Amino acid sequence: MTKLPEKQPESLGGTIVHNMPFPRDLSPEALAWLKNMAPISIEQPYSMIYLHSYAQDSPWFAGLTNKHLLASQDPASGYTYATPRGSDMYSGEETNWIDITEREARVHAFTVCHFGSEAFLDQTPFVLIQVEFEGVNTLLLSRLMGVDPLEASLDWIGMKLKPQFIRNSKLTPTDVYFVPA
């Protein structure tokens, strides 16, 4: 016959509990006080693995990881998107990938960001740019490095650029940024 445990095993967990008063006096009057007790709050670590897919945009991110900037092009019209796009917005047809890494790139517009989301707050101020590429119909939103954001100048409009890629890809659009050519 198998011997069953007589006791629940104890562990030293890391649970943090808030609002846990309990009377030492267990008289009916003291126990009646529990009806007015604030809810107990418990802090627990929570971990989860989030799996998501870039789906049809995956080649664009694979390109960045391999230091190539890809664009999507409608095979019929030649309309070219600087951003990843699996299908043409006018015809709905599947687009082809083309490499625009070596194409001439210029600043189309810029802004200096003095505030940012939590991920970029420690990098403020920074320069956000719209990049135009030779033979590409749309613009790419990216960062401009190698210039002083506190010395912003309209002379930056039209400035020739070259793409730079972070060494350890994070598989995000910020894996590419631009510097003056």
Per residue in 80-128, pLDDT (tens digit) is 999 999 898 888 999 999 999 999 999 999 999 999 888 888 889 999 9
- 123 burial (CB, 10 Å; 0-12 / 13-18 / 19+) is exposed
With respect to residue 104, please indicate whether it lies within any of the assigned structural domains.
yes
**How far apart, in whole angstroms, are the C-alpha atoms of residue 122 and residue 136?**
33
Q: What is the pLDDT of residue 28?
A: 87
Q: Which residue range is the domain that position 127 belongs to? A: 55-180
Q: What is the pLDDT of residues 134-173, one digit of tens each?
A: 999 999 999 999 999 999 999 999 999 999 999 998 999 9
Phi, psi of 134 (to 5 degrees): -60, 125
- Mean local confidence (pLDDT), 39-61: 86
With respect to residue 22, please indicate whether it lies within any of the assigned structural domains.
no
With respect to residue 4, please indicate whether it lies within any of the assigned structural domains.
no
| Residue carrying the six token digits 């039209």 | 158
**How far apart, in whole angstroms, are the C-alpha atoms of residue 14 and residue 43?**
9
Structural domain count, the chain: 1
DSSP state string for 117-158: -TTTGGG-SEEEEEEEETT-SS-EEEEE-SS-GGG--GGGTT
